[in-house]
Amino acid sequence: MKVFLQPALNDGNLDGNQVNSQRQLAISVSAIADGAGLGRNVPLNLCLILDHSGSMSGRPLETVKQAANRIVERLNPGDRLSVVVFDHRAKVLVPNQTVEDPEKIKAQINRLKADGGTAIDEGLRLGIEELAKGKKETISQAFLLTDGENEHGDNNRCLKFAQLAASYNLTLNSLGFGDNWNQDILEKIADEGGGSLSHIQQPDDAEAKFSQLFTRIQTVGLTNAYLLFSLAPRVRLAELKPIAQVAPDTIELPVQEEPDGRFSVRLGDLMKDAERVVLANFYIGQLAEGKQPIAELQVRYDDPSLNQTKLLSELILVEATVQKSYQSVADAEVQQHILALAKYRQTQLAETKLQQGDRAGAATMLQTAAKTALQMGDQNAATVLQTSATRLQAGEELSEAERKKTRIVSKTILQDS
């Protein structure tokens, strides 16, 4: 496998008379075959971290067990699996192992009963320990599922474990079951752990959501990817939230400085059939006429199929054309990415205002987000966002389910596919 890296400016021309110009750079990154074919040849190392607290009793836990069993059936020879379960404590139900007896594993899952409270951080701790045992020459992922608050645990500890997982090249995906889980913490776990957030609104949705996630991780080709970039003289990053991922999920990405002076952002896994798109916001000072360099891009990554780490892609130069008689050359695709990020941030602002008790302010921001979604042609998100705005304008409260759906449609498309 090798890296596909494609940059595009929202406007590739610059006005030579302007002292300062703002530009957005969309960077598409994915794994592509280099003659070895597209089939998955790297074993999966999967850990299911499942909540079996008392609130999961009955249909919820039964559907989760069914969904977990379907995943066991889809694993290939050589794939590894571990299962960690938690209530107000956590235990290893299935230690990390190659899947040689699926029926035995399914029998262990089927014996699971609902009881006790919820300690997400302890489940995460054990899950990371089990994943780490099988991480060599595999693609390591966890599915963390819970239906409640971390009442017997510490949310800050959860985030530290998510950061630890990322440093070990382990990816964490979180699934919120029902309507009473803490969206802030599950979203942060997924963002810090390089994975995605899913919402299982009804018990019968469990199998489909697990299947969506599993299909997605089967396409991972390269891991532990970092986007590296250096900026030309007179080019600087925007000061506030300069870089975000906008596909397949929207995530604010922290920027780090490398020892060689370049900037870097962690992308995590690179998929073979879905590009990660990163949007960088920066300012360019006045430059001389003609083609001018703006930035240099490169990706550092691991290839588990070769058991090689810290490989480097080719260097890609980003240039802009400085014109005395400026004519804009807007890129419609980059504009879509800009709108996707705006929709996400507008919805985040709405949620903040809602938490502060400012329903009118929240309604205004949601209405703005709905208009942004319409500009993108995202009719589904526009409908959800406008419905929530209208309810707030009418003086009604949003249910937990409505608030969660409102936030999720602004973040990812995976949930409603």
Question: How does pLDDT run across 64-107, given as a tens digit for each residue?
Answer: 999 999 999 999 999 999 999 999 999 999 999 999 999 999 99
Mean pLDDT for all residues in the chain: 94
* High-pLDDT (> 70) share of the chain, %: 97
Average pLDDT over residues 297-314: 95
Residue 39 pLDDT: 47
* High-pLDDT (> 90) share of the chain, %: 92
Residue 194 pLDDT: 93
Query: Which two structure tokens, joined as six digits, stand for 415?
Result: 């949930």
Confidence of residue 150 (pLDDT cuts 50, 70, 90): confident
Query: Positive or negative CA dihedral for 414, 243, 167, 189?
Result: negative
What DSSP designation does 204 have?
G
- Check if the beta carbon of residue 29 is closer than 8 Å to that of residue 245: no
Dump strand ranges (E) for 18-119: 20-32, 44-51, 80-86, 90-98
Residue 87 pLDDT: 94
Q: pLDDT at residue 333 above 70?
A: yes
Does pTM surpass 0.85?
Answer: yes
Please tell me which residue, 19 or 414, carries the higher pLDDT value: 19
Residue 110 pLDDT: 97
Give the separation between CA 81 and CA 97, rounded to whole angstroms: 6
Give the separation between CA 344 and CA 350, rounded to whole angstroms: 10
Residue 161 pLDDT: 97
Average pLDDT over residues 36-57: 84
Average pLDDT over residues 194-206: 94
Q: pLDDT at residue 322 above 80?
A: yes
Average pLDDT over residues 329-356: 96
Dump strand ranges (E) for 33-170: 44-51, 80-86, 90-98, 139-146
Give the separation between CA 117 and CA 123, rounded to whole angstroms: 12
Name 228's bridge partners.
264, 298
Half-sphere exposure of 159 (CA within 13 A, CB side): 8
Give the separation between CA 337 and CA 269, rounded to whole angstroms: 20
Give the separation between CA 47 and CA 50, rounded to whole angstroms: 9
Residue 414 pLDDT: 43
Cis before 248 (ω within 30):
yes
Give the separation between CA 342 and CA 124, rounded to whole angstroms: 32
Opening angle at CA 368, ends 174 and 339, nearest 5: 65
> What are the tens digits of pLDDT across the range 236-283?
999 999 999 999 999 999 999 999 999 999 999 999 978 999 999 999
Average pLDDT over residues 197-221: 94
Give the separation between CA 268 and CA 195, rounded to whole angstroms: 8
Average pLDDT over residues 274-302: 97
Confidence of residue 37 (pLDDT cuts 50, 70, 90): very low
Give the separation between CA 123 and CA 287, rounded to whole angstroms: 54
Residue indicated by tokens 């995906």: 173
Q: pLDDT at residue 175 above 50?
A: yes
**3-class SS shares of the chain: helix, strand, coil, % to 5:** 35, 35, 30
Give the separation between CA 378 and CA 18, rounded to whole angstroms: 35
Give the separation between CA 350 and CA 348, rounded to whole angstroms: 5
Query: Which two structure tokens, joined as six digits, stand for 126?
Result: 């054990």
Average pLDDT over residues 195-203: 93
Average pLDDT over residues 99-117: 95
With CA atoms as reference, report the closest residue to 174 among 417, 372, 404, 351.
404
CA 29 to chain centre: 14
Confidence of residue 413 (pLDDT cuts 50, 70, 90): low
Residue 124 pLDDT: 97
Residue 35 pLDDT: 66
Residue 31 pLDDT: 95
